[in-house]
Amino acid sequence: MTDTYQTWRLDDGLQTLVLASRRTRLPEVVYWGAALPEEDDAQALAAAHMLDVTGGMLDENPDLSVCPEAVRTFPGQPGLIVRDHGGTPLLPKFCFESDQIDENALTLRFVDEENRLHLTVNFETDRHTHVITATTKLEAERPVHLHWLAAPVLPGPQLSDEMIDVSGRWCGEFQLNRTAWSPGMRYRENRTGRTGHEHFPGLIVPCRGATNTQGEAYAFHYGWSGGHKMIAEELPDGRRQIQFGHAARMETKPATLFETSPLYITYSRDGLNGCAVAFQRHLRDRILTPANDRPRPVHYNCWEAVYFDHKLPVLQDIAERAASLGAERFVLDDGWFGLRDDDTRSLSDWEVDPRKYPDGLGPLVEHVHKLGMTFGIWFEPEMINPDSDLHREHPDWALGAEDQTLGRQQKALNMALPEVRDFIYDRMAAILSKYEIEYIKWDHNRVLPAPDANQTRGSYALIDRLRADFPHVEIETCASGGGRIDFGILKRTDRVWLSDSNDALERLKMQHNATLFLPLTVTGSHVGPRKCHTSGRILDISFRAWVAAQRHMGFEMDPRELTEHEATVLTEVTSWWKHNRTWLETADILRLDSADPAVIAEQQLAADKSQFVVFAGKAGTSAQIAPRPLRLTRLDPKAHYEVTLINRTNAPTLSRGTPALKDGTLTLSGAYLMAQGLTLPWSFPETMWVIEGRKL
Ligand code: DGJ
């Protein structure tokens, strides 16, 4: 007997997603991929999707629904695990209740009569960014304990051999891992209570043969800052499911309402770059809530120059030098408050240290303003040192047991408590009201004693309140570098501190991977000291400057260490960045398929496609002797482009030949640049070629 289906279809011009349900059950995604013809009949698609049954199988294959239900003999991980108030496991079984279809949104409601539960799934499409946003909500008529709730569950593609997810560590964020699909599951769960360096909540599933620039790929990002769980599972019958949600058991109290964070998904037929561009645009144009529309200012951050050793005349001198190099914002990092001479004390005592600043911060702020820069300041609002006035007064405000292991000598405050949030708000608001401050670097340097969704919600509430009351203040999200980067925190912040590593070689790689999710506008990148403080590597100023110029540029070294030559190079690259930043801020960052694994290259293509810049970083020594041509992407094959190697004077004397790019501007077709590519001059490792292109 042929079933009839209830179906729903979403289109955004590039991708189609079709849902179908049988006999009022939860629907399955029966199609997700390249846009289908409008006239394709969803009933037919649902019927065509039906799998056969053979020996050793149930008489009907259990649905791989948007929330797979254990009670329906689903052979994999369920999408919901819940217990009643007394702790007895519930086995929900949902039936269709209602739907609501708008042009770009679909909401489906289901009910489990027996357990008095309601499940709502929501999908929103976006024709500009091509990211679909999906959420799941569970409502209970009596309080229940939630163990696990997945955002709408998607099928994993079949023509795919592997998945790519992201791990990392302090000073080593955004490392990509490729894992082959096989029966069973890849399970990533972050139980640190913050997004973390270790488990960025993202997944890319390339189809067979996909590269950066071509082939099909599916991508996922979970927008939550409290730690996520991901399941990518191949079922015994060969189907694949992908689940994302908050880390399990992080809802600590029974309640009647639970909601996942948004799961952002996208399908690409332009390789990994299609996914990257969708996420970059979605973050930039839909998630961020910018405090102003000014171009991103060049930063100076004093951390690696002075650490905790704040002396007003030194900072003033540094500020002058930073301004003359081109900085437009001066950020005073850790060390200005309490008795903060090192990282053992004073977190939560947010009052200016009178020993270091006898007249308050005024003289420094005014000095910075006179130099034409704006002023930013560091806070670590969720944290407390046992050696602090606040801890002596309110030890009960700290999270975790007395005998807990500290992290960087500190504990986390219990952000679920309104009185804690009020206290921190008052202290921060006092500083923000007293001084003309337009930027906060918001740090979060330790993991939590245990994951707790209320902590994350408490942090969000504090940031939201400060943003509402100080709307001109921008916020940078930092957590020992890139430990809190996700679309949840980026709804309420403006920039990420990608890593504490200012080593340009490491940054080159990190930026290349992070751009699968992040655009230039939010990705902070600073020119570090000549000898990197976290790797000991000594890198040339030109390489350091160009790597920082790939993203939101800044400086973090002690400018007093710069030679005349270094200052000149840095000034020149900074002025190049300022000259170009307007179009760079809205450009798509495209990872290039480099024929030479030693070369990490990207192309930033203007929104109107009229110009581009290619950054080709030499991350190692090549196996072969001559540089391999570098193919460009997404150009108009019929158009011609003027191509200029703008830093050709950097060619070492060992580059003895005459490749045309060393001589001046070339005019080449898009077809040639994409098929043959650019033949660059020979170069040393740890150097960068920068090529500008203009469409004629
Ligand atoms: C960790 C951050 O990542 C650094 O940039 C710096 O702000 C320190 N904290 C300050 O303690």
Q: How many angstroms separate the alpha carbon of residue 500 from the centre of ligand 1?
A: 7
DSSP single-letter state for residue 396? G
Q: What is the mean pLDDT of residues 516-532?
A: 98
Instruction: Compute, in angstroms, the gap from residue 539 CA to the centroid of ligand 1.
Output: 22
The letter for the amino acid at 64 is: L
Q: Please give the distance, rounded to the nearest whole angstrom, from the Cα atom of residue 174 to the centre of ligand 1.
A: 18
2 pLDDT band (50/70/90 cuts)? low
Mean pLDDT of 393-419: 97
Which tokens go with 613?
Answer: 């810049």
Pair of tokens at residue 418: 């309104």
Check: CB of residue 592 under 8 Å from CB of residue 635: no
pLDDT tens digit string along 644-693?
999 999 999 999 999 999 999 999 999 999 999 999 999 999 999 999 99
Which residues of the chain are in CATH 2.70.98.60 domains? 5-287
Whole-number Cα distances in Å, 607 to 267, 580, 611: 20, 13, 9
Q: Which of 237, 185, 249 is nearest to 74 (CA)?
A: 237
**Ligand 1 pocket member 632 (CB < 6 A):** no
Q: Which one, of 122, 78, 401, lies nearest residue 259 by Cα?
A: 122
Q: What is the mean pLDDT of the chain?
A: 97
> How far is ligand 1, taken at its centre, from the CA of residue 58, in Å?
56
Helix (H) or strand (E) holding 586: none
DSSP string of 153-195? -EEPPSS-SEEEEEEEETTEEEEEEEEE--BEEEEEE--SSS-
CATH class assigned to 299-580: alpha beta
Is 443 a pocket residue for ligand 1 (Cβ < 6 Å)? yes
Q: Which amino acid is at 621?
A: T
Cα separation of the two ends of the chain? 62
Q: Which residues are catalytic?
A: 443, 500
**Does residue 445 line the site of ligand 1, with CB under 6 A?**
yes
CA distances from 670 to 416, 436, 636 (A): 55, 49, 5
CA of 443 to the centre of ligand 1 (A): 7
pLDDT tens readout for residues 100-128? 999 899 999 999 999 999 999 999 999 99
Is the beta carbon of 500 within 6 A of some atom in ligand 1?
Answer: yes
How far apart CA 125 and CA 102 sit, in angstroms, is 10
Closest ligand 1 atom number to CA of residue 478: 3
Q: Is 346 in the pocket of ligand 1 (CB under 6 A)?
A: no
Report the greatest alpha carbon distance in the chain.
Answer: 85
Angle between helix 418-434 and 453-469 (nearest 10): 30
The residue count for the chain: 696
Residue 497: is its pLDDT beyond 80? yes
In short, whether 165's Cβ falls inside 6 Å of ligand 1 is no
User: What pLDDT is stored for residue 84 in this prediction?
Assistant: 95
C-beta of residue 173 within 8 angstroms of C-beta of residue 510: yes
Report the alpha-carbon distance of residue 672 to residue 637 in Å, rounded.
8
Question: Among 500, 507, 510, 555, which residue has the most ligand 1 atoms within 8 Å of its CB, making it the best to mutate?
Answer: 500
Question: 646 phi and psi, to 5 degrees?
Answer: -75, -20
DSSP string, 272-330: HHHHHHHHHHHIIIII---S--SPPPPEEE-HHHHTT---HHHHHHHHHHHHHHT--EE
pLDDT tens track for 208-265: 999 999 999 999 999 999 999 999 999 999 999 999 999 999 999 999 999 999 999 9
Distance CA 520, CA 122 (A): 30
190 burial type by CB count under 10 A (0-12 exposed, 13-18 middle, 19+ buried): buried
Q: Which amino acid is at 419?
A: E
Q: What is the mean pLDDT of residues 172-177?
A: 98
Q: Measured from the CA of 481, which atom of ligand 1 is nearest?
A: 3
Choice from 333, 379, 441 to test ligand 1 binding pocket (greatest atom count within 8 A of CB):
333
Name the residue at shortest CA distance from atom 1 of ligand 1. 480
Nearest CA to ligand 1 atom 9: 480
Q: Is 480 in the pocket of ligand 1 (CB under 6 A)?
A: yes
3-class DSSP assignment, residue 499: coil
- In angstroms, rounded to a whole number, what is the distance separating the alpha carbons of residues 170 and 446? 11
Fold of 590-695: Immunoglobulin-like (2.60.40)
Instruction: Report whether 470 contacts 267 (CB < 8 A).
Output: no
Integer Rg of the chain from CA = 27
Give Cα 83 distance to the centre of its chain: 33
Which atom from ligand 1 is nearest to the alpha carbon of 378?
Answer: 7
Q: Are 587 and 604 in contact (CB under 8 A)?
A: yes
Q: What is the atom index within ligand 1 of the atom nearest the CA of 333?
A: 7
The answer to whether 153 and 243 have CB atoms below 8 angstroms apart is yes
Ligand 1: atom nearest CA of 479 is 3
Pocket of ligand 1 contains residue 304 by CB under 6 Å: no
Ligand 1 mutation target, pool 408, 497, 499, 502, most atoms within 8 A of CB? 497
Residues 6+ apart with CB under 8 A from 194: 225, 226, 227, 444, 447, 448, 456, 479, 483, 484
Query: Of 692, 678, 591, 696, which Cα lies nearest the Cα of 638?
Result: 696
pLDDT at 427: 98
**Would you say the CB of residue 481 lies under 6 angstroms from ligand 1?**
yes
Band (pLDDT 50/70/90 cuts) for residue 3 is confident
* % the chain with pLDDT above 90: 99
Q: Which residues contact 581 (CB under 8 A, 6 or more apart)?
A: 295, 296
Whole-number Å distance between alpha carbons of 265 and 643: 35
Counting atoms of ligand 1 from 1, which one is nearest the CA of 497?
Answer: 3
Q: Judging by DSSP bridges, how do beta strands 439-442 and 474-477 pair with one another?
A: parallel
Cα(376) to ligand 1 centroid in Å equals 14
Which of 169, 334, 532 is the pocket-test mutation for ligand 1 (most atoms within 8 Å of CB)?
334
Res. 414 pLDDT band, cuts 50 70 90: very high
Separation of CA 303 and ligand 1 centre (Å): 7
Q: For the domain bounded by 5-287, which CATH number is listed?
A: 2.70.98.60
Q: Is the CB of 611 under 6 A from ligand 1?
A: no
Residues 6+ apart with CB under 8 A from 39: none
> Is pLDDT above 70 for 471?
yes
pLDDT tens digit sequence for 147-163: 999 999 999 999 999 99
Taking the centre of ligand 1 as the mean of its atom positions, its distance from the CA of residue 196, in whole angstroms, is 15
3-state helix, strand, coil in the chain (%, to 5): 25, 30, 45
Output the CA 480–ligand 1 centroid distance in Å: 6
Ligand 1 centroid to residue 499 C-alpha, Å: 10
Ligand 1: which residue has its CA nearest to atom 11?
Answer: 334
The answer to whether residue 1 scores a pLDDT higher than 70 is no
Q: What ligand 1 atom has the least distance to the C-alpha of 500? A: 3
Give the whole-angstrom CA distance, residue 90 versus residue 67.
Answer: 15
Q: Is 476 in the pocket of ligand 1 (CB under 6 A)?
A: no
Q: What is the location of CATH 3.20.20.70 in the chain? A: 299-580
